[in-house]
Amino acid sequence: MSRGACEVDTVFEIPSVGEFDEEAAERAPLAGFHLGDGGPDDSRETWFLIRSWSRELRLYQNLARHLGDDRRIVTIAPPRGTRKEDFPRTVERWRDFCLERLRPQLGSNPRVLLGGWSFGGVLALEMGRQLEKDGTPVALVTMLDTRLPKAHPTEQRIARSLPHALANHATRFFETPSEGRGEYLRERLAWQFYHARRKAGEWNAARRNQPAPVYQRPDGRTSEPRDVTEMTPLQKALWVAYLKYQPRECTVPVAQFWCDDSCLHTGDASLGWARYLRGPFVSLPIPGGHLTMFDDPHAEALAQTLGERLASLV
């Protein structure tokens, strides 16, 4: 996936209103909106959006329409290929892939604006961390409804956490009448071992690109694990990178734009990130859901909130 140090990709321009060649735009390494001529007289900043999925351009087109042409918008495409070897399997490698395409586009930009929706926000944050480490100022990382990836335990982590899980049930065990304690203990042990085996099995299956095993639940039903064999190579790579991700403290400025369902799911307005963000941080609610936030009328409200935040950086 390496490229020449001086190679600069041409940005595929997409109109903010109307039809465009979606297949060609998806194949392009970079695609954007409100590009202008990009000459020295164009003093607008560029907002770089990281795409981690397919068919995101339609979503961003509607957002770009409502944002207006106050700034250029350039999106960085995810990797393309047909084999698993064509795709990064960790966030760090995915970050480096995107940075390789980003850096030639920076030009004389005095600072960098990054962003991404969903898992793209994770990649944008890690890119911002690396740019800051390399001495490139990062004005803001915009995370569009980006939840902190939930850690999926390995077999070793399950082995360490099992005693703690059992300890959490100790109080309920002793509150149970003595004649029912044996049954209670057998039931809890059965569920603990079921969840431990299932999570470990799904994790290993994802790493090895194999079907996840099916386990019998203690209540007699059959588990229905995620079938990674039905995913596209891009989906599999994203899923594995998601599973492997280990968050770290970060000092870049961050703005999190969250939907109600994500806030309810995570239990806080940072969507799980607060403990790791050590720089300027703002959390802003937006209407709609994780998918519908880009649809009208929600997209107009998102653009207004987002535009106000970007304008405040001046």
Closest to 284 (Cα-Cα) out of 261, 306, 314: 306
Whether residues 258 and 131 share a domain: the answer is yes
For residue 289, the tally of other CB atoms under 10 A from its CB is 14
pLDDT digits (tens, 9 = 90+) for 91-137: 999 999 999 999 999 977 678 999 999 999 999 999 999 999 999 99
Taking 80 as the threshold, does the pLDDT of residue 205 lie above it?
no
pLDDT digits (tens, 9 = 90+) for 256-308: 999 999 998 888 999 999 999 999 999 999 999 998 999 999 999 999 999 99
Taking 80 as the threshold, does the pLDDT of residue 194 lie above it?
no
For residue 211, the tally of other CB atoms under 10 A from its CB is 12
Whether residues 128 and 45 share a domain: the answer is yes
Which domain, by its residues, includes 255? 12-149+245-311
Residue linked to tokens 């004649």: 179
Residue 273 lies in a domain: yes
Least-confidence region, from 24-33, 213-222, 291-300 = 213-222
Q: pTM of the full predicted structure?
A: 0.75
Residue 238 lies in a domain: no
DSSP SS3 for 117: strand
Taking 70 as the threshold, does the pLDDT of residue 80 lie above it?
yes
Question: How far, rounded to the nearest angstrom, does the alpha carbon of residue 172 sit from its chain's CA centroid?
Answer: 38
Q: Angle 241-245-248 (CA atoms, 0-180°, nearest 5)?
A: 150
What does the pLDDT read at residue 163? 57
If you average pLDDT over every residue of the chain, what do you get? 84
Residue 3 lies in a domain: no
Q: Which of 179, 202, 233 is the last residue of a domain?
A: 233
What does the pLDDT read at residue 265? 84
How many distinct structural domains can be found in the chain? Answer: 2
